[in-house]
Amino acid sequence: MNRSLMYLDQNYASRISKFLIGDDGHAHFGLLHDVLTQSDICIPPSPFHVLELLDGYLKPSFQQLYGHFSRGYWVRHWQDVVKRQAIHQRVDIEDFLTTEGDWESAAETAPLTDIVTLAWNGSFVERKHAITTMLQQRLQPLIGEVETPFVRILSGLLTFRSLNEERQARDSDLIDLLMAATVRPYVQWLCTDRFMREGLEKIGEGEGVFSGRRQEVHVLIQRFAPGTSSVGGAHGV
C-alpha cells in the first residue's frame, strides 16, 4: 500500500478517544478525527500506548480508534527498532512497523530508565556529546558501535530538555523522549505536546510535528480537509 504515516502520542490519542466516548470538551479533536477518517492515512498504535493506558477506562476507545486507523500495523518495540537500524544502517519502514503487536505488550524503558534524572553540564554541544556517548554505551548490546537515527534524535532531545531548567519533571517525560526518537524518522506527521514539538524543532526534526494547542490542531485539520493534498515525503507505507 501507499499511505502516509501519522503517529498520535498519548495526549492526542486520549483526547480523540474522549471525544469518541462523548466528551464535548474535545470537539476540535473530534473534527480532526472526522477529517482523518476521510483520508487513507495509516496511524499505528505502539507499545508506548499500552504502557501508558495501564488497562484504563480509555482502552476500549483506543482499540476502536486504532482498529480503524492502524490498517493492521503496530509500531515495533523501540529496542527492536534501534537494533534493526543498526543492522540495516538505513531508514526502512519494515524496521518500524509490524503486524504482530497487541494491547498486552507494553513498552519497557530499560536500559534507559534513568536518563531523565541524570545531570549534565556545559554548552549544548558539550552536553550532546556526553549524552550521545552515554547512550551509545548503554545501547552497545543492541547497536554495537553503529550510529543510529534513534540515538541522534534522543541525544538531541535529552540535551534540549537538560537546558530547560524551569521545566518540572513529569512522569511521562521518559516515555515521550523514547517515543519521539523511535517514530520521528519514519512518520510524516507526529502529533505530540508543545514541549516535544519545540525540542524537535530545536534539533532540526520539526517538519510535520504538531502540538495539541487548539490553533495547531486546526492547522492539521486544514491539512487533511477534503480536496487538500497532504500526502508526500518518504514516509509512505
Instruction: Give the pLDDT of residue 195.
Output: 94
What integer is the mean pLDDT of 98-109?
96
What integer is the mean pLDDT of 39-57?
94
What integer is the mean pLDDT of 24-45?
92
What integer is the mean pLDDT of 102-107?
96
184-194: pLDDT as tens digits: 999 999 999 99
133-172: pLDDT as tens digits: 999 999 999 999 999 999 999 999 999 999 987 776 777 8
| Nearest in space to 157 (alpha carbons), one of 204, 200, 102 | 200
Instruction: Give the pLDDT of residue 166.
Output: 74
